[in-house]
C-alpha cells in the first residue's frame, strides 16, 4: 500500500489556488474564460456607473495581446489597509474575497459580490498594471501572476478621478490569448444599452467604436427586432423602483414561433435565467390569462393558456438592479437566485393588464396570437398521438423502419449517422461499425421548420423518424435522459444539395432540440470530394484547395484523381476510412456560443423574410467563389 501522510498534503497560499485550478474561478481556460477576465474588470467600472460615479469607460486592445480598461469613476483606494503595511489597491489585487461591495455603504448596486474578480485577473495575468487617479495624484502598482512587482508609486499630480487597469493574460494558463473584437463590442454595446447615459469607447487597430444609448433598453430591443415583423408598433416598457429593487423591462410579440428573452441582474447577463425570468414569465402569463378571460376570447376547445403559449413569438429584455445581498449561481454569475420572483411577477402582471385594458384593439390582437399558439400546441399533440396510434414499428422504442440501429445500449459509445437517400444509406451500412454506429437515411430535403407551423412540423414523416431515432421527443416534450446516441452526425454529400440538407437539419436541431447542441452531441461529417491514387498510396481531399496542395507535393509523381459524386457512389471501404472510422475521420462539432446571434442568423437565412436574405447575399457576394450554379 502506498504511503500517505502529512507530507503529501499541500496548502495553497495567496492566489496559488487560482493558478492551480483556474476553472473554479472563471469557468474554463478556453476563449470564454479568457474573456471572463476582461468582463471582471469591465464590470467594476460599470459598477461605478451604476452608482452614479462614472459616465465614461474606454477599452483598448494592445499589440501584445493585452487590454486596457479606463474609467472616470472614484479611483481605487490607495491608503494603507487596516493592520497591514499594504495599500488597499495591493490587497484588492492580491487577496481573494477582498473588496468594497460586501456592504452597501460604498456600492448600493453591484454586479461584483464575491471579492475575487480583480484578484483572479491578477493571478492569471502575465503582467498587470493598475493606476488610480484620486486624492490629487496618480498612483500606480505593477503585478505579475498574482504577485506585486513593486510598491505603490505616487505619480504626477492630477485633478481627475478614475481607474486604469492594463493586463496581459498568462499564455501558460490560456492556450490562446487573442481577444475577440466582436465579443468585446457586443459586451460593450450591451453594457451601454443597460446603463442610460453611459458612454463606452472601444479602440482596436486604430479604430474607435462608441456605444451610447440615451433610451437604454428601449434602444436595445429596437436593435434586436431590426426589420422583423411585429404585432405592435412600439414595445411595452415597464419601470419600477423601490428601496431594494429596480425593475426595467421592455417586450413585444412577433408572428414568429421562436422566443428570445435576454435577462440581466445588476448589468450582468444571466444566460441561464433565474428568479427574475420566472417572475416575468408568471406575470405575463397571468396577465394574458386574465385579459382573455375578461374579454371571453378563449375558444371552447382550449381549456387554458400555458406559459409556453404566451412566450411563443415573445422578444423581451429584463433588467433588474438589486441592493443588499444578491445571490448568483457561481462566480460566472450565469443564473440569478435572489428571491425576487414574486415581486417581479406582481409588477409585470399589474402593468401588462393595465396596458391591455387601455389598448384593447392591440390587446385582442395579442390575445388572438396567443390563442393561435395554444391551438397549434393542441393540434400538434393530437397529430403526435394519431401517429403513435397508427404506427406498428417497434412498440418498445417506436423506432423508424429505415433506421439500422447499432448493437450497443451504451449511449456514450453509440453514434447515429443521418445521411441522404437510400443509396447513401446502403453504402453507410456497409461501411459502419455495427456495434456502435447506427444509420438513418432521410428522403431528400426535410421540412424547413423555421417557416413551418408547429402542427406541420410534428406531422412530417421525416421529422417523426428523426425524433423517434433520437428518442428524446422535441420542444417542450424534450427529455434529455432518453437520448439514445452520444454523437448525432449529419453526413451529407459534399455538394450544394448536401450543404442545403445539412442546413435544414441544423435548423431543425437548433429550433426543436437545442439541448442536443448545447450539450455537445451534434456533429457534421467531412466526406472527401477527391481520391488521389499514387501507386499503392491513397490520398483524400475534402476541398479543391486540399487536392491541389496534395498534387503539388507529389513533385511530378504519376497519379490518378477520382471525384466522388456522392456518398451513395463511394465504395464502402473509402467511406469507412475517410468519414466513419473513429481513428481516421474528421468531424465538425456544432456548438452554440451566442444564442442571440444564432437566432438572428437562422431567422435571416431560413425565415420567411426574403428581404433579409437578399441583403445578406448582397453583403457577402464579393466573398463567394466556386459557386455551383
Sign of the dihedral defined by the CA atoms of residues 502, 505, 506, 507, in that order: positive
The CB-based long-range contact list for 584-591 (8 Å cut-off, 24+ gap) reads 585/525, 585/526, 586/526, 586/542, 587/487, 587/489, 587/523, 587/524, 587/525, 587/526, 588/523, 588/524, 588/526, 589/520, 589/522, 589/523, 590/506, 590/509, 590/517, 590/522, 590/523, 590/524, 591/517, 591/520
Reading the block at residue 474, the C-alpha cell is 422535441
Q: Do 252 and 224 form a contact (C-beta atoms < 8 A)? A: no
205: exposed, middle or buried (C-beta count within 10 Å: 0-12, 13-18, 19+)?
A: exposed
Which listed residue (58, 420, 450, 462) is catalytic?
420
State phi, psi for 107 to the nearest 5 degrees: -130, 105
- C-alpha–C-alpha distance, residues 116 and 346, integer Å: 35
> How many CB atoms are closer than 10 A to CB 304?
10
Which listed residue (16, 204, 433, 495) is catalytic?
495
- C-alpha–C-alpha distance, residues 65 and 77, integer Å: 28
Which listed residue (58, 405, 462, 493) is catalytic?
493
Active site includes 433?
no
Residue among 47, 596, 40 nearest 321 (CA): 47
Residue among 341, 346, 356, 247 nearest 291 (CA): 356
H/E segment holding residue 200: strand 199-204
Residue among 482, 460, 486 nearest 473 (CA): 482
Q: Do 140 and 130 form a contact (C-beta atoms < 8 A)? A: yes
Active site includes 495?
yes
- C-alpha–C-alpha distance, residues 16 and 22, integer Å: 10
Active site includes 497?
yes
- C-alpha–C-alpha distance, residues 45 and 198, integer Å: 11
Active site includes 493?
yes
Would you give the DSSP letter of residue 445?
Answer: S
Q: At what angle do helices 496-512 and 595-606 cross, to 10 degrees?
A: 130
Q: What is the CA radius of gyration of the chain?
A: 29
Which listed residue (327, 497, 515, 577) is catalytic?
497
- C-alpha–C-alpha distance, residues 516 and 136, integer Å: 57
Q: Write the DSSP assignment of 123-151 as a string of letters.
A: HTEEEEEEEEEETTEEEEEEEETTEESS-
State phi, psi for 562 to the nearest 5 degrees: -120, 140
The residues annotated as belonging to the active site are: 420, 493, 495, 497
Amino acid at each position: 500500500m502506498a504511503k500517505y501522510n502529512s507530507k503529501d498534503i499541500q496548502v495553497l497560499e495567496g492566489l496559488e489556488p487560482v493558478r492551480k485550478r483556474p476553472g473554479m474561478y472563471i469557468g474554463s481556460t478556453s476563449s470564454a474564460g479568457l474573456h471572463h477576465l476582461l468582463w471582471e474588470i469591465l464590470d467594476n467600472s460599470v459598477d461605478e456607473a451604476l452608482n452614479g460615479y462614472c459616465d465614461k469607460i474606454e477599452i483598448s486592445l494592445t499589440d501584445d495581446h493585452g487590454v486596457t480598461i479606463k474609467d472616470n469613476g472614484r479611483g481605487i483606494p490607495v491608503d494603507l489597509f487596516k493592520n497591514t503595511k499594504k495599500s488597499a489597491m495591493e490587497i484588492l489585487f492580491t487577496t481573494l474575497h477582498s473588496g468594497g461591495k460586501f456592504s452597501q455603504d460604498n456600492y448600493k448596486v453591484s454586479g461584483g459580490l464575491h471579492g475575487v474578480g480583480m484578484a483572479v485577473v491578477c493571478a492569471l495575468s502575465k503582467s498587470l498594471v493598475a493606476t488610480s487617479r484620486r486624492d490629487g495624484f496618480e498612483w500606480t502598482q505593477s503585478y505579475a501572476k498574482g504577485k506585486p512587482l513593486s510598491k505603490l508609486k505616487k505619480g504626477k499630480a492630477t485633478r481627475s478621478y478614475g481607474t486604469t487597469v492594463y493586463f496581459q493574460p498568462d499564455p501558460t494558463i490560456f492556450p490562446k490569448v487573442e481577444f475577440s473584437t466582436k465579443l468585446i463590442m457586443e459586451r460593450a454595446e450591451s453594457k451601454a444599452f443597460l446603463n442610460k447615459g453611459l458612454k463606452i469607447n472601444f479602440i482596436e487597430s486604430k479604430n474607435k467604436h462608441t456605444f451610447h444609448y440615451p433610451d437604454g433598453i428601449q434602444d436595445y430591443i429596437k436593435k434586436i427586432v431590426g426589420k422583423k415583423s411585429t404585432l405592435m408598433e412600439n414595445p411595452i416598457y415597464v419601470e419600477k423602483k423601490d428601496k431594494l429593487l429596480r425593475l426595467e423591462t421592455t417586450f413585444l410579440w412577433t408572428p414568429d414561433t421562436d422566443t428570445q428573452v435576454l435577462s440581466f441582474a445588476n448589468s450582468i447577463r444571466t444566460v441561464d435565467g433565474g428568479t427574475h425570468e420566472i417572475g416575468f414569465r408568471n406575470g405575463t402569463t397571468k396577465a394574458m390569462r386574465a385579459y382573455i378571460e375578461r374579454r371571453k376570447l378563449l375558444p371552447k376547445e382550449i381549456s387554458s393558456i400555458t406559459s409556453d403559449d404566451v412566450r411563443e413569438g415573445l422578444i423581451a429584455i429584463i433588467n433588474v438592479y438589486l441592493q443588499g445581498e444578491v445571490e448568483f449561481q457561481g462566480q460566472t454569475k450565469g443564473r440569478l437566485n435572489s428571491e425576487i420572483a414574486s415581486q417581479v411577477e406582481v409588477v409585470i402582471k399589474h402593468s401588462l393588464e393595465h396596458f391591455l385594458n387601455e389598448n384593447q384593439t392591440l390587446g385582442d390582437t395579442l390575445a388572438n396570437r396567443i390563442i393561435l399558439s395554444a391551438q397549434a400546441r393542441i393540434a400538434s399533440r393530437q397529430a403526435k398521438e394519431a401517429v403513435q396510434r397508427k404506427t406498428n414499428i417497434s412498440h418498445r422504442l417506436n423506432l423508424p423502419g429505415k433506421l439500422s440501429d447499432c448493437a450497443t445500449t451504451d449511449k456514450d459509445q453509440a453514434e447515429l449517422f443521418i445521411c441522404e437517400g437510400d443509396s447513401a444509406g446502403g453504402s453507410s451500412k456497409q461501411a459502419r461499425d455495427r456495434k456502435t454506429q447506427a444509420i438513418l437515411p432521410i428522403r431528400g430535403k426535410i421540412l424547413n421548420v423555421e417557416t413551418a407551423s408547429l402542427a406541420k412540423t410534428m406531422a412530417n414523416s421525416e421529422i417523426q423518424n428523426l425524433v423517434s431515432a433520437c428518442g428524446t421527443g422535441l420542444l417542450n416534450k424534450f427529455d434529455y435522459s432518453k437520448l439514445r446516441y452520444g454523437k448525432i452526425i449529419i453526413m451529407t454529400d459534399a455538394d450544394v444539395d448536401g450543404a442545403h440538407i445539412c442546413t435544414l437539419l441544423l435548423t431543425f436541431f437548433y429550433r426543436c432540440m437545442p439541448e442536443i447542441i448545447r450539450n455537445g452531441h451534434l456533429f457534421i461529417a467531412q466526406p472527401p470530394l477527391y481520391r488521389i491514387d499514387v501507386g499503392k498510396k491513397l490520398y483524400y481531399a475534402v476541398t479543391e484547395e486540399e487536392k491541389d496542395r496534395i498534387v503539388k507535393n507529389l513533385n511530378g509523381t504519376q497519379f490518378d484523381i477520382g471525384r466522388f459524386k456522392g456518398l451513395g457512389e463511394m465504395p464502402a471501404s473509402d467511406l469507412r476510412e475517410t468519414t466513419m472510422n473513429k481513428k481516421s475521420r474528421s468531424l465538425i462539432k456544432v456548438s452554440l456560443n451566442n444564442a442571440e446571434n444564432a437566432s438572428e442568423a437562422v431567422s435571416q437565412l431560413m425565415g420567411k423574410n426574403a428581404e433579409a436574405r437578399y441583403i445578406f447575399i448582397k453583403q457577402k457576394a464579393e466573398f463567394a467563389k466556386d459557386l455551383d450554379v
